[in-house]
Each structure stands twice: as structure tokens, then as C-alpha cells.
A = this chain, B = another copy of it.
Amino acid sequence: MDKSKNLYAVIMAGGVGERFWPQSRQHIPKQFLKILGSRTLIQKTVERIAPLIPMERVWVVSNQKHESLIRSQLPKLKKNQILLEPFGKNTAPCIGLAVAFLNKIDPEGIMVVLPADHLIRDEKEFLKMLKAAADIADQEESLVTLGIKPEEPETGYGYIHFGKPIKKGANTPFFHVQKFVEKPTLQKAKAYLKDGHYLWNSGMFVWRVKTILKAFQEHLPQVYEPLEEFKKAIGTRGEKKAILKMYEAVPKVSIDYGVMEKAASILVGSGDFGWDDLGAWPGLERHLKKDNQGNVARGAFVSVDADNSIVLSQDGIVALLGVKNLVVVKTKDAVLVMGKDRAQDVKAVLEKMKGCAEYKKYL
């Protein structure tokens, strides 16, 4: 594959992954876990794009407390390729930070923005889309986002309503975005699926450094101005302090809300490469083989009269007897047992633990 020299990857690895407790902890979020397979999600993310974007053009943005995790999991990454946030302010400042650095290196460069914790089954097809998106971002000077052809009326994702293809009559998977849509009700999700003009919002973006910088300037001056101030400190001894100052100044805002929904012309690629954001434990059901009772498991597992359950077992065995529709996650020092339909509420458990001094060590 053609490794375009001006193509850069920015891996967003700032997530806390609370929904993957007890495997994910404050000191080791989801993207640093081997949720499936023998490599961590961030390792998979970097390795997946290697045929198109080699390690030396990969930047990782993450919380500063996870620096050592990144360095140990991606040992070939140089220190200056790890951009550390003092605290999270959602995706717009995170992307802004990377834009500021890349603008210094290669303002004509094209950057691919990827979350660190997604799974992709068809890597070839994914790279093909990514390359096509980069070409379009280069030619059209547009903001391009990758959408995903929905497989089911999923209510856990945002949707992108798309309109005309970018080239009249041409057979292209790229379209003009009509509207970004919030996570829908099941009824609406079903209608979107039927309509055929809606894609899942994957949170993956491709654009020229200067195009996104201009968009920040136009739509998100509250982030753009502190960024411009910060840029002066890049490469100086005051850089770290300047990052802190910038993060203190900017609002918490997502790139979708702050930029994408406001920009006049956004393009979206209609992707079909087995994408999965693996948003919570039940997401594993799509990747593991079910037994005759509909259970999926990783690790030592035994069951009698147990149905449709999901079991993750580290450091030992999980036994189910006469239960159904459960998620059971065992780590060395914690066990979560929840109804499969409650996976979005793990945060409530963590909140409760935060209120108890002796349980904080399990967060």
C-alpha cells in the first residue's frame, strides 16, 4: 500500500472506559486492555494502520497518568509522539492539541484521527477506505468522517444522515453530510435502518491539518485561541506548563458538537469493514462463539442450566448455575455480576464505590 509521506495518525487514547470495570481501572482504561486476543486495543489500533501510516508518523494523545502504559505497550513510539493531557476535556481539545503539533511539523499534512479502543474485523477494507478518505480530504479540502453502514437498529450510537454522493453519478462511497443525529430511540433507529441514508457515527476523522485548524478558528474560537497561544510554547521548556494553561482555558467540548455539526460542508464515507466500538461488556457477544445455551466466555468457565450469559474470567474460574442473561466479569480482586441490559449503568456502581473509602482501591 502507498505510504503517503504526508499522512499522519492521531490516536485518541484519553478514555477512561468505566463501562469495562472491573477489568478497566482508573490506572488502566479499556484501550490498554487485551479485551479480545493477545494484543491490547491500542496496540491493535496502531498495528492495523501500519501498512498505510508507519509508527514514526503516529501520535498518541492520552492522559498524562497513562504515559508509562503507552510507553510500555508501544515501545517504538518516541517520547515526542506521545501528547499528554493534564486532564480530559472531551475530543475537541484533544484533537486541537494534536493539530497544534502537526501544524508545526507539516501544515500541509493530512491527519487521520482514530479512537484507540475500537475493533475492526476487515482491516484491508478499512485501510482502503482510510486511503480513499485521505485522498478526498487532500483534493477537496474537506472535513471527512468515516461512517459505518448500520447492521442493526443500534441505539447506543449517534447517526449521520447523508445526502448526495460527492461526485454526481460516480460509484463512490463518499457523500455529503446532511445532519449529525443524536443517539436515537429504538423506533427511530429502526426507521434510520430502513431509510438507508443513515450511517453510524464512528468518531473517526480524516482532514488536512490546515483545514481542521481553519474550522477550529471559525466554529470553536474558545479552543482555537488558547491553542494559538499554546503553539508558541511548543518545543520550549515551558511546553508542559503551556499545555496545562491551555487545558485550563478551554471548555469541555466534543469535536462533533464543537466543529462537525457546525461546519458547512462535511463529507462522510460509508464504511463496511466490521467496525465495533465495543462500547460495553455485551459488545463481546458479537466476537465470541456462543455455546449451545447461548453463553459466551473468555477464560475458565463452567455452567449448569445457564443461558445467554457473558463471562470473562481472569485468574481463576467462573461457575454459573441456574441463571440467565447475566454478565459476569472476574478479575483477581473484583467481580461484577449484572443483568445484560444494565451494562450502561456500571458507572452507577463506580459512583457508589467512590463514596466508600475502603472501596476506592478497586476503582
Contact = CB atoms under 8 A, between A and B. Distances in A.
A303 to B, nearest CB: 8
Contact of A356 (B302, B341, B353): B302
Contacts of A349: 302-304, 319, 321
A321 B302 contact: no
A316 B345 contact: no
Contact of A304 (B300, B335, B352, B358): B352
Given A300-B358, A304-B348, A362-B316, A322 B335 contact: no
A305 to B, nearest CB: 7
A332 B331 CA distance: 9
A319 B18 CA distance: 14
A303 B319 CA distance: 20
A339 B323 contact: yes
A338 interface: yes
Interface string A319-330: 111110010101
A199 B76 CA distance: 75
A317 interface: yes
Contacts of A320: 337-338
B335 A302 contact: no
A335 B339 contact: no
B316 A334 contact: yes
A354 to B, nearest CB: 10
Interface residues of A, number: 41
A283 to B, nearest CB: 17
Interface in A26-50: none
A342 B322 CA distance: 6
A346 interface: yes
A332 to B, nearest CB: 7
Contacts of A318: 334-335, 337
A22 interface: yes
Interface in A102-117: none
A359 interface: yes
A152 interface: no
A338 B318 CA distance: 11
Contact of A338 (B321, B333, B339, B348): B321
Contact of A321 (B305, B315, B323, B348): B348
B316 A332 contact: yes
A21 B328 CA distance: 18
Contacts of A22: 317, 319
A309 to B, nearest CB: 9
A190 to B, nearest CB: 25
A336 interface: yes
B302 A319 contact: no
Given A323-B338, A326-B323, A345-B304, A317 B362 contact: yes
Given A316-B334, A359-B317, A352 B322 contact: no
Given A318-B335, A319-B334, 12 more contacts: A22-B317, A300-B358, A303-B352, A305-B342, A315-B332, A316-B333, A316-B334, A316-B335, A317-B333, A319-B336, A323-B337, A330-B330
30 contacts: A300-B359, A302-B349, A302-B356, A304-B345, A304-B352, A305-B342, A305-B345, A313-B335, A315-B332, A315-B333, A316-B332, A316-B333, A316-B334, A316-B362, A317-B333, A317-B335, A317-B359, A318-B335, A319-B336, A319-B337, A319-B338, A321-B342, A321-B346, A322-B339, A322-B341, A322-B345, A323-B338, A328-B335, A328-B337, A337-B337
